[in-house]
Amino acid sequence: MNKKLPVLCPSCSSELKVQSLHCDNCETTINGLYHLPLLLKLDQKEQYFIILFIQSSGSLKIMAQKLKFSYPTVRNMLDDLIKKINKLQTEIS
Amino acid sequence: MIKKLLNPFVYIAGSYSLLIGLLIIFCTSVIGYYSSIHFPDILSVKTGPDYPVMYHILQSIANWLVISAILYLFAVVFSKSRIRLIDIFGTQALARFPYLFAALIGFSNAMDKFGRYILRQLLEQGDPVVMSAGAITIAIVLIVVTLFLTVWMVALMFNAYKIAANLKRGKLIITFITSLILAIVLSAFINNKLIQIF
């Protein structure tokens, strides 16, 4: 099953933080309080978009061919993602 | 399927849509020449006197160029995205697809006859026109179909602009409606000049 990483609290919608990390091999557990990296705060579709963008060497034309969307549709998706990342960065700082 | 009919621009834009769109505009003009259907501004569909085929072609091209140019100017001014000229002109050309069917409607003389019938009945203008109940029904159905095609085309034009310009909410709606009004006025003016030439 492909589990979705929750980034917002289901109770109050505040941003979640990492409290515990676990090693499956030696069963070591680390407890602390860590912020989620910015990329993990994006949803799965947006993360896939970024991976595809890198794999396409940043070419929106190649991405449009791969996604079978028109060029302006892909450009709009990128612009929306840039806007979201800028907003998240502002919230962090 | 319905999504593709209302918003094909998610999948098609740029030079591909321009090529298909120009072919559609050309076919619409030629069919309009044979069926005596005119497009005196970017939205209107009217039956009218016979004009050379070149008049029909220039009229359709002018309608497409006027709305595309105005939308492009608004997109450049108001959008924060990098706007491509070919996306605006290409998608607007493809958006005129429903009027290919509107040009076909002219092959039935029911609408033209109904127009003259109404003029005679309400304003007592022109020669007396006799129309059966069946012919009146056909004419009304064709008028409703034409209205539906106009609504469909405006929806396509709006979605084309939304994708090509990447505008949202208030900016999108206000600039689109303003462009539509400006284009109706300008295209009607150009059409009057074309009539004088031909």
Q: Would you call A58 an interface residue with chain B, using a CB distance cutoff of 8 Å?
A: no
Secondary structure (DSSP) of B152-169: HHHHHHHHHHHHHHT--H
Q: Look up residue A72 and give its two tokens.
A: 């302006």
**pLDDT tens digits for range B22-79:** 999 999 999 999 998 989 999 999 887 888 999 999 999 999 999 999 999 999 999 9
- Contact between B163 and A73 using a beta-carbon 8 Å cutoff: yes
**pLDDT tens digits for range B103-135:** 998 888 777 788 788 888 787 777 777 778 888
Choose, out of B9, B15, B18, B81, the residue to mutate when testing the contact with A (most A CBs < 10 Å).
B81
Please list, in sequence order, all residues whose beta carbon lies within 8 angstroms of the beta carbon of residue A78, skipping any fewer than 6 positions away. A49, A53, A60
* Helix intervals (H) in chain B: 2-6, 14-35, 53-78, 85-94, 99-105, 110-118, 133-165, 169-197
Residue A43 to residue A21: CA distance in whole angstroms: 21
- Contact between B13 and A75 using a beta-carbon 8 Å cutoff: no
* ipTM of predicted complex: 0.84
Q: Would you call B10 an interface residue with chain A, using a CB distance cutoff of 8 Å?
A: yes
